Amino acid sequence: MRIEGRGRVDRGTPLRFRFDGREMEGFGGDTLASALMGAGVGVVGRSFKYHRPRGVLTDGSAEPNALVTIGDEPNIRATMQPLFHGLQAVSQNRWPSLGFDLMAVNDLAAPFLGAGFYYKTFMWPQRFWERLYEPMIRRAAGLGALSGKPPEEHYETAFAFCDLLVIGAGPAGLMAALTAAQAGAEVILCDEDAAPGGRLLAEVEDVGGVAGHLWAAGMAERLRGLGVRVMPRTTVTGAYDQGTYGALEQVVPAGVHPGGAPRECFWRIAARRAVLCTGALERPIAFRDNDRPGVMLAGALRAYVNRWGVAPGRRVAVFGNNDDAHRTARDAAAAGLKVVALVDSRPDAVNLAGDVPFMPGWQVTQAIGRGGLRAIRLAGPGGRGRMLEVDGLGVSGGWNPSVHLTSHMGARPVWDPGLAAFVPSEAAVPGMSVAGSARGRMGTAACLRDGAERGVEAAGELGLRASMPDLPEAGDDLLRLRALWAVPGKGRAWVDFQNDVTVKDVRQAASEGYGTVEHMKRYTTQGMATDQGKSSNVVALALLAQATGRDIPGTGTTTFRPPFVPVSIAAMGAGGRGKRFAPERRTTTDALSRAMGAPMIEAGLWYRSAYFPREGETTWRQACDREVRMVRQTVGVCEVSTLGKIAVSGPEAGRFLDLVYTNTMSTLAEGRVRYGLMLREDGHVMDDGTVSRLSAHDFLLTTTTAAAGQVMRHLDFVQQAYAPRMALRLVSVTEHWAQFAVAGPLARGVVDGLLDAPMGDLPFMGCRAVTVGGVGARLFRISFSGELGFEIAVPARYGESLFRALLGRAEALGGGAYGLEALNVLRIEKGFLTHAEMHGRVTAFDLGMHRMIAPGKDCIGKALASRPGLVAEDREMLVGLWVAGDRAPLAGAHLFAEGASPVSENDQGYVTSACWSPTLEQWLALGFLKNGRARQGERLRMVDHLRRLDVACNVAEAVAFDPDGGRMRG
């Protein structure tokens, strides 16, 4: 219900909204929770396990009950959701409706659904698990539902930097920020709420002679004027190493159309220092049916009255174990509500609430009213009992300093018996100090001072001179309390509202031997819901301590881990959505190739053309087979810019290359190209490629597309770690040069026609600087196809133009473009290798290339390549395989002796590459076979169980076509 003349909502702007289809009205400044309360809605959800009707428990971030779905977003805390005109929200975890939820049958089955019930049930009969139990549990489990659609809204991540990060804009935080900013520090101030002030927004109290919320607003303005970056609606979610903090900003509330703005932003803040001013969170007292709608935290009840001008009903009571709860009774009475009783469990408590019925030494033993609180039962000294009619009850078991971030790096908080709460341990997070209620200072004046002192301290650590500012006048009440965790009695009393864990569950865990807090947590699931046990951890721990006969420090505490509040994956992973996951690398012929109809294949980050379909071709095989024949019979042009190209220059470049390649590169003559193998230090093959010597001091290395980055990293390491005094330097030039392969019997004519001067007798494995239309280019006579082949490189800006020119000449001779599919077939026919064969577990010996390891010099990997196990006769060695019949061989299939059963014990090897060879009209494959070099001609069985392949094949030389290489050397 709404209270006339109370709260700071804007009654001039009524906002219409819908909850579960029912239309209601609220005001500007309302949260969804306060608007629902104002509209008289008491039940906002159903509990997780027992599906009990639930109302709002808190006024903020720690809310466990009021989780709603807005649009496609589930699990939005109604207490944090700003109301706007047209908001549509639905309740969760109920079917068919909030008012009539069939799953409430679970509440009747409660005796069977206690702690750890799932460890004791759903086990028999075993075959029922997959068919019945698991689907059933899956349907029943979870809070809220995902839409299954990608989000329409945009999310973002961002980076921010500052000298001082102040976490929380309550009294302590505002003073810390002011002090540091005045000293010249660059400050970022974050707060979860839309407005600064922390608890001041909920209380009736003055600071510096003005209402607390006005003082806070004024301070925020002043801070902005000092250059402080004030970030409202921003929750700092985690503390990480070296002063890094994660923070989640609600830029646009759920359900609001964002325009171009992001819905949320996940910030990574690098701060040289931080002050944690996160205040404290109230905790409840457990008693029978304390989860009825209308029972809430006392501090929340008065927040609803003071800040939003709403109440759960006209008749309210307050039940607490401390002085602070009295403020709720005082404020409710001042607002015109009927305060039926202020119940304080301490017999010697003094009434601080004024003229309200005061019941010291009494306790509330039961809340009555399943669909909404109607009455409470009480027990008093001397065994007396009473029942009172109420619509709302505020409960306070004390306040827990919000220490969460202080334990994100492994430190554990310390028990303060006076406060009956945990406070941060010293220096828990390097560079972060704690001020105010977050470290147990509970009065406003104490918080103002503490925040200012920490600000001075932080500024000093930053090398700035700060001085204590004038502290505004404020109240400073001590929080006197006496611990009370649970009221004894029958019935179920709730500890963890979100995961439906009761006092009975905690005690049961202890009695079954789960007496450590880590076990109790996992056995009962207390503290494991999305609220991370903010209102239940300490109560549960205290009950566990009692049940196991220990004190609280002896029982310990679980560690908090980031994030402090749930963070949507959309926010944390923003920038990684869809194609944004990785950069796209496009060659200079990419657009032209796509225009020619070529499907593109992803090769790492690059896009490469698969094939170039011609009129009448309907399958990739048709195009691929044609392209292979074209290269073998006339000429083909292929885009090969994506291969890594590394320039290595210097007087000692050759010596350096001798170290990284197995063979000797320092003896390579100018104008020549040599195939090279690079090993890892463990003797396995890292990559292969060519080395071209362009001049005495200039070498150009190529790498495979896949390994370009890895090789560059490796060469940088070798140069900096092993050869820092050697006269050479290296740099990647992959991007600068566009490069094309021209291959086939007619290749020379195609290339020569474009050169300004004919190439003359460029030998096989030769290289030369040339010009094309006056542009400096490089020509290599190398072949990956096995045909007469060249590669021509021009600066990338001319790439497309050169490709067009080459294509024009090739097509005029009956040839054309070819793509990766044909490239792969051509090289398989020739037994040339890719990373399908050099997959990280093969050695030069396996490939039959052990003679490429030059005996007279050291190289990376040489020592360990000679280990007996790496040169053993039964190693899997590279072989070719010919397959007869119609079935295609498959990469990944395994090899078995003819007649042997295809099981792991009989495994002889595996297939790495396979293709239909148009040249040989034959299925071909490459693979590795135990002692393969000695088994030429042997008939084997090739089996792939997953894809149902079982064919015979013959072991052959890896080079299936033109074994002497005459076609490319001639």
Residue 415 or 661 with smaller CB distance to another protein = 661
Residue 118 or 722 with smaller CB distance to another protein = 722
* C-alpha Rg value of the chain to the nearest Å: 38
Least separation in angstroms between residue 757's CB and another protein is 11
**What does the alpha-carbon distance between residue 102 and residue 334 come to, in Å, rounded to a whole number?**
42
Give every CB contact of residue 669 below 8 A, 6+ residues apart in sequence: 693
Residue 469 or 650 with smaller CB distance to another protein = 650
Least separation in angstroms between residue 491's CB and another protein is 47
Residue 67 or 706 with smaller CB distance to another protein = 706
Least separation in angstroms between residue 885's CB and another protein is 43
Residue 435 or 820 with smaller CB distance to another protein = 820
Half-sphere exposure of 357 (CA within 13 A, CB side): 12
Residue 180 or 286 with smaller CB distance to another protein = 180
Q: Which residues pair with 190 in a beta bridge?
A: 167, 231
**What does the alpha-carbon distance between residue 189 and residue 703 come to, in Å, rounded to a whole number?**
50
**Secondary structure (3-state) at 482:** coil
How would DSSP label each residue in 161-200? EEEEEEE--SHHHHHHHHHHHHTT--EEEE-SSSSS-GGG
Least separation in angstroms between residue 45's CB and another protein is 30
Cβ–Cβ < 8 Å for 94, 46: yes
Nearest Cα to 789, choosing from 685, 690, 646, 705?
Answer: 690
Least separation in angstroms between residue 407's CB and another protein is 14
Residue 324 or 590 with smaller CB distance to another protein = 590
Least separation in angstroms between residue 954's CB and another protein is 37
Give every CB contact of residue 401 below 8 A, 6+ residues apart in sequence: 279, 280, 419, 421, 422, 423, 424, 437, 438, 439, 440
Least separation in angstroms between residue 654's CB and another protein is 14
Give every CB contact of residue 367 below 8 A, 6+ residues apart in sequence: 287, 288, 289, 290, 291, 292, 294, 295, 373, 376, 393
Indicate if the alpha-carbon torsion angle 735, 736, 737, 738 is positive or negative.
positive
Residue type, 120: K
Residue type, 857: K
Least separation in angstroms between residue 728's CB and another protein is 7
Least separation in angstroms between residue 553's CB and another protein is 23
Least separation in angstroms between residue 563's CB and another protein is 17
Residue 241 or 964 with smaller CB distance to another protein = 241
Question: Element (H or E) spanning 710, and its range?
Answer: helix 708-717
Cβ–Cβ < 8 Å for 730, 648: yes
Residue 653 or 968 with smaller CB distance to another protein = 653
How would DSSP label each residue in 777-801? EEEEE--SSSSSEEEEEEEGGGHHH
Least separation in angstroms between residue 732's CB and another protein is 8
**What does the alpha-carbon distance between residue 131 and residue 128 come to, in Å, rounded to a whole number?**
5
Least separation in angstroms between residue 797's CB and another protein is 4
Residue 286 or 751 with smaller CB distance to another protein = 751
Cβ–Cβ < 8 Å for 429, 239: yes
**What does the alpha-carbon distance between residue 326 and residue 351 come to, in Å, rounded to a whole number?**
7
Residue 346 or 577 with smaller CB distance to another protein = 577
Residue 241 or 761 with smaller CB distance to another protein = 241
Rounded to the nearest 5 degrees, what angle is found at the Cα of 921, between the Cα atoms of 917 and 926? 40
In angstroms, the Cα distances linking 20 to 44, 97, 265 are 10, 8, 29
**What does the alpha-carbon distance between residue 957 and residue 774 come to, in Å, rounded to a whole number?**
45
In angstroms, the Cα distances linking 353 to 160, 330, 797 are 46, 4, 81
Which pair of tokens denotes residue 580?
């944004």
Least separation in angstroms between residue 808's CB and another protein is 9
Residue 121 or 771 with smaller CB distance to another protein = 771
Question: Element (H or E) spanning 235, and its range?
Answer: strand 234-240
Residue 431 or 892 with smaller CB distance to another protein = 431
**What does the alpha-carbon distance between residue 553 and residue 542 come to, in Å, rounded to a whole number?**
10
Least separation in angstroms between residue 864's CB and another protein is 5
Nearest Cα to 169, choosing from 215, 209, 126, 110?
Answer: 215
